[in-house]
A = this chain, B = another copy of it.
Amino acid sequence: MSAPDRISGVLTPVVTPFGQDLMPDAESLIAQCRWLLAQDVGLAVFGTNSEANSLSTDEKLDLIDKLVEAGIDASRMMPGTGTCAITDTVCLTDHAVKAGCGGVLMLPPFFYKGVSDDGLFAAFAEVIERIGDENLRIYLYHIPPMSQVPLSVGLIERLIRAYPETVVGVKDSGGDWSNTKSMLDQGWDDFRVFVGAESFLLANMQNGGAGCISATANVNPAAIKDLFENWQSPDAAAKQAALDAVRDRFMKVPMIPALKSAVAHFSGDPAWSVVRPPLMALDDAQNATLFGALAEIDFIMEGLSQSDKQTARG
């Protein structure tokens, strides 16, 4: 296995399908990953919007295996592997590396709040040292609205200096462009800065960024990839505005169930709307809000796998 190249482009935290029993539906996930790859969007499985933190470690290990066994290109996968406990994080990350994943997206340990940069450095270092694999490529995951444990520029710099071939990028989901910009301005050598929302994609590309890893790329992959490819074109600002118009509509209701409602609607497979508690599926009023808003812009998702389940139910 050759060492993975550093990643750029558009990736999405692939939404995780569940059966009515709330257990992961590997077959539907595989189909969705194929649909995304066909549009050249990479697979940040087990992200926040994948409900990854509602999955057990064992469930995530099993899904990685099933995706790879199904022939999904592991080099296009950047699974989320950061958990509260370094031992769980090591277990998941090691499994991802051995499966050939192009990288991993790593949350800091996120239960204890107010921890020091020294403590966070020690946590990441411990994981890296325990795995001890030259094929490990870590993209740090900064998402203070959920983790409540921010990753400072100073911490990232220390990690890059200590592990320059391993700590190769970051996803900034803080929603604060000035923080992303401050990372871009550091001039870290070939360090890949992804924005966590396509709202900042054009700005990120104009400032030397690597792309985006965005929830909405679950539902609008081709258009987001198009802006990534054509950010220097004269109509880039118009493309950005069109992306924003879609994203704004998904933001009118809770994002994760909204993404799943859209996949359910356009695939004709209602099972896609199932979320795991503590999240809740959209109710009828929320669905009406979402699809009413999407109708204003003639939004559709094309080419989704039309599940046999739908036929059986329908």
Contact = CB atoms under 8 A, between A and B. Distances in A.
Q: How many copies does the complex hold?
A: 2
A197 to B, nearest CB: 17
Given A110-B111, A119-B280, A85 B55 contact: yes
A71 B110 CA distance: 34
Contacts of A123: 277-278
Contact of A122 (B91, B113, B277): B277
A84 B126 CA distance: 22
B56 A85 contact: yes
Contact of A113 (B88, B108, B125, B145): B145
A116 B53 CA distance: 17
A112 B279 contact: yes
A249 interface: no
Interface residues of A, number: 41
Interface string A137-166: 000000001111100000000000000000
A68 interface: no
B22 A126 contact: yes
A88 B56 contact: yes
A230 to B, nearest CB: 35
A153 to B, nearest CB: 18
Interface in A2-52: 22, 48
A57 B92 CA distance: 13
Given A110-B111, A126-B22, A84 B279 contact: no
Contact of A59 (B53, B87, B280): B87
A108 to B, nearest CB: 7
A260 interface: no
A53 B278 contact: no
Contact of A119 (B84, B87, B118, B278): B278
A99 B55 CA distance: 24
A120 interface: yes
Interface of A: 22, 48, 53-59, 83-88, 91, 108-113, 115-116, 118-120, 122-123, 125-126, 145-149, 276-280
- What 7 A-B pairs are tightest by C-beta distance, nearest first? A53-B111, A123-B277, A122-B277, A119-B278, A56-B87, A115-B278, A53-B84
21 contacts: A53-B85, A54-B84, A54-B109, A54-B112, A55-B87, A56-B87, A59-B85, A109-B277, A109-B278, A111-B146, A111-B147, A112-B278, A113-B146, A115-B279, A116-B280, A119-B279, A120-B277, A122-B278, A122-B280, A123-B277, A123-B278
